[in-house]
Amino acid sequence: MTMLQDRLAQLQQAVAEREAQQLMRQPVTVEHYNGRLITIDGQPFLNFSGNDYLGLATAPEVLQAYADGALKLGAGSSGSPMVTGQHAIHRQLTETLSDWLGVERVLLFSSGFAANQAMLHTLAVKQDTLLLDKLSHASLIDGALHSDARMKRFAHNNMSALARLLEQEPQSMVVTEGVFSMDGDCPDLAALRSLCLQHQVPLLLDDAHGLGVKGSEGQGSGPAQGVANSELFCLMANFGKALGVAGAFLGASKTVIDYIEQFGRHYIYSTALSPATCAAVLKSIDLCRKQHWRRDKLYNNIKKFRILAADLPIMNSDTAIQGMVLGSSEQAVNASKQLKKAGIWATAIRPPTVPAGSARLRITLSSQHSDEDIALLVQQLRLLLL
Ligand SMILES: Cc1ncc(COP(=O)(O)O)c(C=O)c1O
């Protein structure tokens, strides 16, 4: 066998092992999407798997803004923001974000993954220890691993575990999420802020699942818990979840953002967001701030679901992300298949995305679900467990 053949054989073996462990990931192709319903292989399903929590991905005003933005401003930005990729609409979007979220400056990124990489890779120095919540998203873990700093993880949402680490590691940065993507639970941000202040260390927050849905005008998890976004050392959130579009940003003080603008390689060496996308995000923010009914409906749906499913093994979450841990990957995959037969799409989440033995159904609720949709979901979940 040549070295090249050997390399290919290794790749094949890794995929075969994954298959044998029932851990193969297979993207599905959605043929039609309207938020509440998705069509896959010609069959419509009630969608309980997306992150379009407020139904903004198909709001007619957002679609119109996208189309107008493309016609007037272009489908692509044509370059890095440092060359000719920053257009007037990018400035408008960063200023709108600063105003909405109460942060001094904002930088735009093409994805939350890139923004998290930039945040940790650029801000952490060699002498730092990055202290990450155990359940942090892969983009934060990779950002920390690629930085010059050391990484340590604290038990999920556990303030005493973090306090102990802070005693041992005086030069650290604390990194957590506003709403955890697989469990749907939230840290006590006021307690975290106090702990970080006490130790004089920066607090960095990924609020991918909090922006838009938390806070009176959707300003996110911090404001919803009485912590101003300006009290964070750096905030990351993206536009592809509750805002229903794509892209992301980092928001912080002028000093922090000026630094990332100069030294953040993910920002400098990457094509800026498309102007059409910026136009759509601006419209989405506008609707998100004004149309309180979207959040009200979402929270009513969450409440309804939790009342109906109170006797089922659902995780403790008051957010749009509701998990039902089933144990093995096989059990989670079978449950997801059974639900599909009843016309319900709820994705099975397996290791390594979640810890071994905690494979689950990740159910996400949106403002677009009706009472009947939720009742049907709970009825089918109950059948699964009988
Ligand atoms: C908590 C969290 N952070 C970051 C990301 C990455 O964001 P994006 O999908 O915009 O790359 C995601 C979602 O994929 C996420 O759930």
Per-residue pLDDT at 378? 97
**CB 247, CB 106: distance < 8 Å:** no
Give which of 146, 156, 159 is closest to 177, Cα–Cα: 156
Q: DSSP strand E in 125-170: where?
A: 129-133, 150-154
Instruction: Tell me how far apart the alpha carbons of residues 339 and 384 are, in angstroms, rounded to a whole number.
Output: 8
Q: Which two tokens stand for residue 278?
A: 């910026």
Q: Apex CA 248: angle with CA 354 and CA 261, to 5°?
A: 120
The CATH homologous superfamily for domain 25-58+291-385 is Aspartate Aminotransferase, domain 1 (3.90.1150.10)
Q: Which residue's CA lies nearest to atom 10 of ligand 1?
A: 112
Sign of CA pseudo-dihedral 177, 179, 182, 183: positive
Per-residue pLDDT at 174? 98
To the query of whether residue 104 is one of the catalytic residues in this protein, the response is no
pLDDT tens by residue, the chain, 386 residues: 899 999 999 999 999 999 998 778 889 999 999 999 999 999 999 999 999 999 999 999 999 999 999 999 999 999 999 999 999 999 999 999 999 999 999 999 999 999 999 999 999 999 999 999 999 999 999 999 999 999 999 999 999 999 999 999 999 999 999 999 999 999 999 999 999 999 999 999 999 999 999 999 999 999 999 999 999 999 999 999 999 999 999 999 999 999 999 999 999 999 999 999 999 999 999 999 999 999 999 999 999 999 999 999 999 999 999 999 999 988 999 999 999 999 999 999 988 888 889 899 999 999 999 999 999 999 999 998 87
Domain ranges of the chain: 25-58+291-385, 77-273
Q: Which residue's CA lies nearest to atom 15 of ligand 1?
A: 208
Q: Do domains 25-58+291-385 and 77-273 have the same CATH topology?
A: no
203's CB contacts (< 8 A; 6+ apart) are: 173, 174, 176, 192, 193, 196, 231, 232, 233
Give the DSSP H/E element, type plus range, for residue 324: strand 321-327
> Which of 135, 137, 319 has the most ligand 1 atoms within 8 A of CB, as the residue to mutate?
137
56's CB contacts (< 8 A; 6+ apart) are: 62, 212, 242, 243, 244, 245, 284, 287, 288, 294
User: What amino acid is encoded at 18 in this protein?
Assistant: R
244's CB contacts (< 8 A; 6+ apart) are: 52, 54, 55, 56, 57, 58, 59, 62, 284
Determine whether the shortest distance from the Cβ of 329 to ligand 1 is under 6 A: no
| Overall CATH class of domain 77-273 | alpha beta
Q: Which two tokens stand for residue 25?
A: 């990931």
* Sole residue written with tokens 């989670």: 332
Q: Which residue's CA lies nearest to atom 5 of ligand 1?
A: 112
To the query of whether residue 217 is one of the catalytic residues in this protein, the response is no
The alpha carbon of 379 and the centre of ligand 1 are apart by a number of angstroms equal to 31
Give which of 182, 181, 178 is closest to 192, Cα–Cα: 178
CA 143 to centroid of chain Cα atoms: 15
Q: Which pTM does this prediction carry?
A: 0.96
Q: Which two tokens stand for residue 148?
A: 């010059």
To the query of whether residue 51 is one of the catalytic residues in this protein, the response is yes
Determine whether the shortest distance from the Cβ of 181 to ligand 1 is under 6 A: yes
